[in-house]
């Protein structure tokens, strides 16, 4: 039965992790991951999460099935985070939100729904983008193309190229946009550029799908959600996927969401009913634990305050590492201006290093990043930073 089945290519990041695990270099550093580590190189367990879990142990509960669209309090909390708790879309009930299996699950439910709604639409993703965007929308049955984004020569964004591509896209084209903290480059467009993107989406009748996997990792919860407000103000209907993997350090619990902003409450009810069919026929309903933890944190004022503090600490530590990286590279003798690293935002940095340099970093120094030059700044710490700077200086 399976004789004709071909071996699928290995996931590039997971392959890198395997290589890292097998590396015997005692100084090895894994910057290939998309994970936040604390200054001790450990995956944090947030105190707000621990507090909820301690309460759960004190009064353990049986676990029945959740509703298809997840925990009501969770979905409400997501709406509040994405649109603002007192915003018009939330108050008027025109947001359809489902609890998803991580941000990936939110994207997938949205992609499947869009495929039913508009089967011939094309999907545009940024060049480059999170590698799963292409795979996920292709798997959902779409033809996926790219809009220009990263400009290597200018160390920034080819915004004209991006805008031209949006302005040339046929009506109905689904445009996947990183709401904040662009993965993999670390370059976000400016507020005035968002205005132009919103204008193009509106003028060309495009379908915006905002992927918000890092809300709170850039400048703050509200600040990172600012692009959403611009789409709302323009009167557009659009999709937003949310991930709590990073912001709650709950990677393995698969907590995320999909929100669809509709024209009115009645439309939102109909859209929600269709999203529920996608879920019911795929995994039936979401798991309880992660959603319950996040809902409890977000709806308990003291825990919410604690979460925002802890999120702020992660955000600040990443920024500190960016500065240390720039200073450390200079101290290690790097002559070229590396200050672009502090212009970037979020967990990642497109370092500008070539594939050959990245391979040398791995082979000679045990410093692992992707071949594209992407490094996870959130995996740097006060113990490994000097070694990483010296290693980079040697390959530059
Ligand atoms: N979108 C982007 C841009 C991401 O970087 C990630 C996580 N690496 C996701 C979505 C998926 O998040 P999750 O792990 O919650 O599925």
Q: Looking up tokens 């000679």, which residue turns up?
A: 364
Whether 297 maps to a domain, the answer reads: no
- State whether 149 and 260 are in the same domain: yes
> The domain that contains 177 carries what CATH number?
3.40.640.10
Whether 181 maps to a domain, the answer reads: yes
Name the percent of the chain lying above pLDDT 70. 100
Number of structural domains found in the chain? 2
Task: From the CA of 182, give the closest atom in ligand 1.
Answer: 3
Positive or negative torsion for Cα 246, 180, 125, 173: positive
Mean pLDDT of 242-264: 98
- State whether 273 and 347 are in the same domain: no
Whether 299 maps to a domain, the answer reads: no
φ and ψ at residue 323, rounded to 5 degrees: -65, -45
Q: Ligand 1 within 6 A of 110 CB? A: no
Cα separation of 145 and 123, whole Å? 6
- State whether 109 and 146 are in the same domain: yes
- State whether 229 and 123 are in the same domain: yes
- State whether 231 and 283 are in the same domain: yes
φ and ψ at residue 36, rounded to 5 degrees: -90, 125
Task: From the CA of 102, give the closest atom in ligand 1.
Answer: 15
Whole-number mean pLDDT of the chain?
97
- State whether 243 and 317 are in the same domain: no
**Residue 234: both structure tokens together:** 């323009």
Query: Going by C-beta distance under 8 Å and a sequence separation of 6 or more, which residues neighbour residue 375?
Result: 31, 32, 348, 349, 351, 369
pTM equals 0.97
Whether 66 maps to a domain, the answer reads: no
- State whether 330 and 264 are in the same domain: no
Concatenate the DSSP letters of all residues of 170-191 into one string: PTT-EEEEESSS-TTT-----H
- State whether 104 and 154 are in the same domain: yes
Range of the domain at 185: 72-287
- State whether 224 and 173 are in the same domain: yes
305-346 per-position pLDDT tens digit: 999 999 999 999 999 999 999 999 999 999 999 999 999 999
- State whether 161 and 93 are in the same domain: yes
> The domain that contains 35 carries what CATH number?
3.90.1150.10
Torsion angle of the four alpha carbons 24, 25, 30, 32, in this order, in degrees rounded to the nearest 10: -80
- State whether 139 and 280 are in the same domain: yes
Closest among 68, 72, 96, 67 to 82, alpha carbons compared = 96
Per DSSP, 3 falls in state: T
17-35 per-position pLDDT tens digit: 899 999 999 999 999 989 9
- State whether 137 and 207 are in the same domain: yes
User: Is this complex scored with an ipTM above 0.90?
Assistant: yes
Give the active site residues: 130, 211, 246
CA atoms within 13 A on the CB side of 367: 26
Q: Ligand 1 within 6 A of 102 CB? A: yes
Per DSSP, 157 falls in state: E
């Amino acid at each position: 039965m399976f004789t004709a089945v071909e071996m699928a290519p290995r996931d590039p990041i997971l392959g890198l992790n395997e290589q890292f695990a097998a590396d015997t270099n005692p100084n090895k550093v894994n910057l290939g991951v998309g994970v936040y580590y604390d200054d001790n190189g450990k995956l944090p367990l947030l105190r707000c999460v621990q507090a909820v879990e301690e309460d759960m142990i004190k009064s353990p509960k049986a676990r029945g099935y959740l509703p298809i669209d997840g925990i009501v309090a969770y979905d409400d909390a997501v709406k509040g985070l994405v649109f603002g708790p007192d915003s018009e879309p939330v108050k008027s009930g025109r947001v359809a939100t489902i609890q998803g299996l991580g941000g990936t699950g939110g994207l997938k439910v949205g992609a499947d729904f869009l495929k039913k709604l508009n089967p011939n639409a094309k999907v545009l993703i940024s060049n480059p983008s999170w590698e799963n965007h292409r795979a996920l929308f292709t798997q959902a049955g779409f033809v996926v193309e790219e809009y220009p984004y990263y400009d290597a020569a200018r160390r920034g964004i080819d915004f004209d190229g991006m805008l031209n591509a949006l302005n040339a896209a046929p009506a109905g084209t689904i445009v996947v946009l990183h709401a904040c903290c662009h993965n993999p480059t670390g370059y976000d467009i400016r507020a005035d550029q968002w205005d132009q993107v919103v204008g193009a989406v509106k003028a060309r009748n495009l379908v915006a799908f905002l992927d918000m996997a890092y809300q709170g990792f850039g400048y703050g919860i509200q600040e990172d959600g600012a692009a959403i407000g611009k789409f709302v103000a323009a009167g557009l209907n659009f999709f937003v996927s949310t991930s709590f993997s990073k912001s709650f350090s709950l990677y393995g619990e698969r907590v995320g969401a999909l929100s669809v902003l509709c024209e009115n409450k009645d439309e939102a009810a109909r859209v929600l009913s269709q999203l529920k069919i996608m879920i019911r026929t795929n995994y039936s309903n979401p798991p309880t634990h992660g959603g319950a933890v996040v809902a409890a944190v977000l709806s308990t004022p003291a825990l919410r305050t604690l979460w925002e503090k802890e999120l702020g600490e992660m955000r600040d530590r990443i920024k500190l590492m960016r500065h240390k990286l720039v200073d450390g590279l200079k101290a290690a003798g790097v002559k070229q201006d590396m200050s672009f690293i502090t212009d970037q935002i979020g967990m990642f940095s497109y370092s500008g290093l070539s594939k050959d340099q990245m391979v040398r970093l791995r082979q000679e120094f045990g410093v692992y990043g992707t071949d594209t030059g992407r490094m996870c700044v959130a995996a740097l710490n006060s113990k490994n930073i000097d070694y990483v700077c010296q290693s980079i200086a040697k390959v530059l």
